[in-house]
A and B are shown apart, each in its own frame.
Chain A
């Protein structure tokens, strides 16, 4: 099933699919946000935004608007 990182639930993981390359900031790519890598949602901030993810070993927080740009295949 294909969803975006913003739709992951706490503890769920997904594999990053190809994304439209020019919308995503390069900094995210550098942090390991690359197609084929695993993203895990660790924590959602109390007010539902931002979200705290582990992608490819990098622990980062991003806003939902950015997370919406990253499509993943959910790992059941």
Chain B
């Protein structure tokens, strides 16, 4: 008979809880969110002996049931709510053999909730090396539980654990500790006020700041507040912790011994180097260099491949389906839109590969330790370093990475300033504009163009630090400023864990942010492909007439002339023996093909100008004109709000050149003449103005959505949008007016 049971994996951070989860479930897992909040919910299915099927939840890591963060509240809320569909039939508490004493604190709390609990002692492979001996049977007896000695690294003990879970009915649910002894009178009163409830549960509901059944919580609070004030409650909580440690110490005295002569060594040596006042920073800097190299250099190969594949797919679709609106939507809207999402996968995957390696190995805590004092004058914490670094790939995961910051003010500031760091979506915009307006040439052996790019990165980072400082002064948020970070032992990262993290994060990017980018690409495509004016409807005729009467656009005339000249040269050198008539024919054919292409491009461009989006661009032209942009750049700026990198693609459509011919886009942009002064549209002044605008403006709807989710209010994303974009406008305006 098959039976489904709920299993909750609970444990302190850094105990290898997730490794246990991965070993139990394999790839049969899914990651979602708890309703309404962004705490990650990991679930999986595991087949147990005797036909039992277990639904396993990997709960967020927590040191105790005394919550200090959203992630931790999730644990308490689930354990207190018997009606939750995920309420565990059995709790598996994962501990690390080296930190057993501290890890047991949480275990005793779970036991006291009268939930059947199994104790997993993980990293058993380290016992001999650390000189640890354990008396398992005695420990089981004292804690009233069953123990699985596991080594996820070696894959040992998982089957024992499965047996124990399947056998969960035989577990004792006797509590370990009588919490009421810390204040007998108080608990007696509680008991008589709520005779039906379990006192320890009541105690947790009273002391924890969780959303547990709001009405009931209020009722309990009202009924009990008169008895104990908050300060007194806090004192009781301290007392409870002391009591639990007494219990644990007494047990471990009999069951756990460490031979200190064996231990020491490796960790101390590594700590000495990695947190050294010089070497610590040098090593951190080198690691950053490798990460940047990976994100910008190594990922360019798969990205080029993806880019090409999607361009081909789009062309293939156009060629093989009957022409029409649907084919165009598919080829130009949907496939191009999906391509725009997929292209970021290599960078996101690399970023998470490194972040997960650094976290798994225990190095990240050392970075936090090194950087904390440096960040504090700006209202940031050492823990802000990770989001700020991640922000150079993409602000979305970076904003989510701020969750580890306990202090709300520091966390909020980090969230607000992270979008200033130069994310990968800005890169294509920077690259093409730098190539257009920054002269080639070298300064001290470094090219001006490379220097400009570096300056833009520094500018982004500097701006985030600067605005953090300003926010630190402005924001009047009182929050308890304490900072505790565990310095876990160094470990060789487990390949499986790293691979799962990279896979999961990439997947959630593709489905989360990807959906928005795709939707917007389609909307933009529709807006750019349809119009209601007569000009739009008769575009083909109008343009054909124009070509007949005044000829092709200046750019196209030039372009055709050059192409023909090159082609003619090639013909004469490659086929010196062929007769003049044949050559003439070839040239005519080539010329006709070029003319047809030019005609189609001009029609497309004319259509776009008179499409919905074209009118939108014309409408905002007065606003962007002082920055040195015409309506076409204006449209590109608007579409960039879907995702910045759309800028280049939009200009390609507007200037009616194929998306894949980067050289041509550049040439086309270089040839564009400003209608107001007959000078090139992309010059130093407008180029710098654009670069600065893109450096500062909040142009990413996905980021705004994530910020809304993380701060639980529209106030902060709205502030970001207004402040960042306003600032960008002013800076771009000043730059253009000075340089022009």
Contacts and interface: CB of A to CB of B under 8 A. Distances in A.
Interface string A47-59: 1111010001111
A59 B480 CA distance: 22
Interface residues on B, range: 35 or more
B373 A48 contact: yes
B370 interface: yes
Contacts of A34: 241-242, 245
Given A45-B372, A47-B374, A49-B372, A27 B484 contact: yes
Interface in B237-293: 237-238, 241-242, 245, 268, 271-272, 275-277, 280-281
7 contacts: A26-B234, A31-B486, A32-B102, A42-B271, A43-B369, A60-B487, A62-B483
A41 to B, nearest CB: 12
B365 interface: yes
Contacts of A30: 63-64, 66, 102, 105, 241
Contacts of A22: 231, 234-235, 238
B676 interface: no
Contacts of A63: 372, 482-483
A29 B66 CA distance: 11
A35 B64 CA distance: 19
Interface in A1-60: 21-22, 24-32, 34-35, 42-43, 45-50, 52, 56-60
A46 B281 contact: yes
Most buried by B among A28, A46, A49, A66: A46
Nearest to B101: A57
Contacts of A62: 482-484
B99 A57 contact: yes
Interface in B217-243: 231, 234-235, 237-238, 241-242
B485 interface: yes
B678 to A, nearest CB: 57
B102 A58 contact: yes
A50 B371 CA distance: 9
Interface in B365-389: 365, 368-370, 372-374, 382
B68 interface: yes
Given A30-B64, A52-B271, A62-B484, A47 B242 contact: no
Contacts of B382: 50
A37 B101 CA distance: 12
B373 A45 contact: yes
A10 to B, nearest CB: 10
- Interface of B (DSSP majority class): helix
Interface of B: 63-64, 66, 68, 98-99, 101-102, 105, 231, 234-235, 237-238, 241-242, 245, 268, 271-272, 275-277, 280-281, 365, 368-370, 372-374, 382, 480-489
Interface of A: 21-22, 24-32, 34-35, 42-43, 45-50, 52, 56-63, 65-66
Contacts of A57: 98-99, 101-102
Contacts of B276: 46
A26 B237 contact: yes
B275 A43 contact: yes
A25 B66 CA distance: 11
Given A26-B237, A61-B368, A63-B372, A52 B482 contact: no
Nearest to B482: A25
Contacts of B241: 26, 29-30, 34
Contacts of B368: 61
B357 to A, nearest CB: 20
In the A-B complex, list the 9 residue pairs whose CB atoms are closest, starting with the nearest: A46-B277, A47-B373, A59-B487, A25-B482, A29-B241, A21-B238, A49-B373, A30-B64, A61-B369
Contact of A31 (B63, B231, B365): B63
Most buried by A among B238, B272, B276, B480: B238
B410 to A, nearest CB: 12
A62 to B, nearest CB: 6
Nearest to B277: A46
A21 to B, nearest CB: 5
Contact of A27 (B63, B365, B489): B63
A34 B238 CA distance: 9
Given A29-B238, A30-B102, A61 B485 contact: yes
Contacts of B489: 59
Given A22-B235, A29-B242, A34-B242, A56 B102 contact: yes
B101 A56 contact: yes
B480 A25 contact: yes
Nearest to A63: B483
A26 to B, nearest CB: 5
Given A22-B234, A26-B237, A31-B63, A43 B483 contact: no
B275 A31 contact: no
Contacts of B98: 57
Given A58-B102, A58-B486, A61-B487, 9 more contacts: A26-B66, A27-B66, A30-B66, A34-B241, A45-B369, A46-B373, A47-B374, A60-B484, A60-B486
Contacts of A31: 63, 102, 484, 486
A75 to B, nearest CB: 15
A41 B277 CA distance: 16
Contact of B483 (A26, A46, A58, A66): A66
A43 B238 contact: no
B99 A43 contact: no
Nearest to A54: B487
Contacts of A47: 373-374
A25 B484 contact: yes
A31 B482 CA distance: 14
Nearest to A55: B102
Contacts of A65: 481
A58 B257 CA distance: 16
Contact of B238 (A26, A48, A59, A60): A26
Nearest to B276: A46
A49 B483 CA distance: 11
A66 B275 contact: no
Contacts of B272: 43
Contact of B271 (A43, A49, A58): A43
A50 B655 CA distance: 56
